[in-house]
Copies of this chain bind each other. A is one copy, B any other.
Amino acid sequence: MPTLDESAKGGYFITVTPFSEDGSLDLESTDRLVDFYLEKGASGLTVLGVMGEAPKLTAEESRRYAQRVLTRVNDRVPVIVGASAPGFAAMRELAESVMGMGAAGVMVAPASSIRTDDHAYNYFEMVAETLGPDVPFCMQDHPLATGVQLPISVILRCIKAIPSCVMLKHEDWPGPGLAKLAAIRAASAGGETRRISILAGNGGGLFLPEELSRGADGAMTGFGYPEMMVDVCSAHTAGNIARAHDVFDAYLPLARYEQQTALGLAVRKHLLVHRGAIASAAIRKPGPKLSGADIADIELLIARQVRRLEELA
């Protein structure tokens, strides 16, 4: 059974949660989606994140969905479960439940009420205490969603003091972004801290080549063509920076289109239906719907992407 640790790398795909047209969990599509993700080269999966519509599930549904994913994955790759919650009791409850099912670790973002460095540090200290020493966790740095800016000094303090903090999901936008990533790497290179895993997802992956150059170990984000992460990471790891950029640039126009706040998840699910990974693009209410013009945009961008990838092949 894989456990999350500091050596994690490659593409961790943030999974959508498939629903049927009537809004119920679509567990058959869940199996198909897991197969699709593994086929596309996922090094790991992250379930029940914001883009997984976690807050729209009941506690029972969350467990059922996580269980289905874990069973289908069957220990082939680590599965991280989003465990951010409005309180520590609910966080512990969910974490215990999914770890018992075979999750590799959990991911926690800072509470949006945090306003000072000590608040932030104390929050993660409490997260660690709540989860217990045997549950490795990924600190999710995502100011656009949380409103919280985690200073470099706080992240380093956590790395030093909290052994179960083994991964940083770097999505620091708006924020210092690449400079923050570089500073955290410099701290471990200089012996100040352990070296933890950093998976990048700044702006939904829009800075991936540069993040890899600054020391990210891979990417953690969604996107309907998640093989982009794998191919960019592979080329980069192989030292072929130009190739990493070529591939990235080919996907960039569509990846950028998916980064529309209100519409992003609808675009992503549309792409996954288009590719046969799930049966329906249904989103639980309240959620966006694509217009005809949106779909026309997407079709144009897919066609251009196909052509560009062929040119690169």
User: Measured between C-beta atoms, what is the minimum distance from A214 to chain B in Å?
Assistant: 7
Q: Does A41 reach chain B (CB closer than 8 Å)?
A: no
Q: Does A153 reach chain B (CB closer than 8 Å)?
A: yes
Partner among B87, B151, B253, B260 whose Cβ is within 8 Å of the Cβ of A117:
B151
Known: A252-B253, A253-B249, A297-B213. A261 touches B89 (CB 8 A): no
Name the B residues within 8 Å of A59 (CB-CB): 59, 90, 93
Q: Does A263 reach chain B (CB closer than 8 Å)?
A: yes
Partner among B57, B90, B144, B177 whose Cβ is within 8 Å of the Cβ of A89:
B57
Name the B residues within 8 Å of A163 (CB-CB): none
Q: Mark A283-300, 1 if CB is under 8 A from B, else 0.
A: 011100001011001001
Tell me the nearest residue of chain B to A85, going by C-beta.
B55
Name the B residues within 8 Å of A210 (CB-CB): 257, 297
Q: How many residues of A contact B (CB 8 A)?
A: 67
Q: Does A262 reach chain B (CB closer than 8 Å)?
A: yes
Q: Does A116 reach chain B (CB closer than 8 Å)?
A: yes
Name the B residues within 8 Å of A285 (CB-CB): 88, 126
Name the B residues within 8 Å of A56 (CB-CB): 87-89
**Contact B179 A90, beta carbon cutoff 8 Å:** no
Q: Does A178 reach chain B (CB closer than 8 Å)?
A: yes
**In the complex the two chains form, what is the Cα distance from A79 to B197 in whole Å?**
49
**In the complex the two chains form, what is the Cα distance from A176 to B182 in whole Å?**
34
Name the B residues within 8 Å of A177 (CB-CB): 260-263
Of residues 46 to 62 in A, which have CB atoms within 8 Å of B's CB atoms?
A: 53-61
Binding site for B on A (CB under 8 A): 53-61, 85-90, 92-93, 112, 115-118, 122-123, 126, 144, 148-149, 151, 153-154, 173-179, 182, 203, 206-207, 210, 213-214, 241, 245, 248-249, 252-253, 256-257, 259-263, 284-286, 291, 293-294, 297, 300, 304
> Closest 4 CB pairs between A and B?
A174-B261, A55-B87, A55-B86, A56-B87
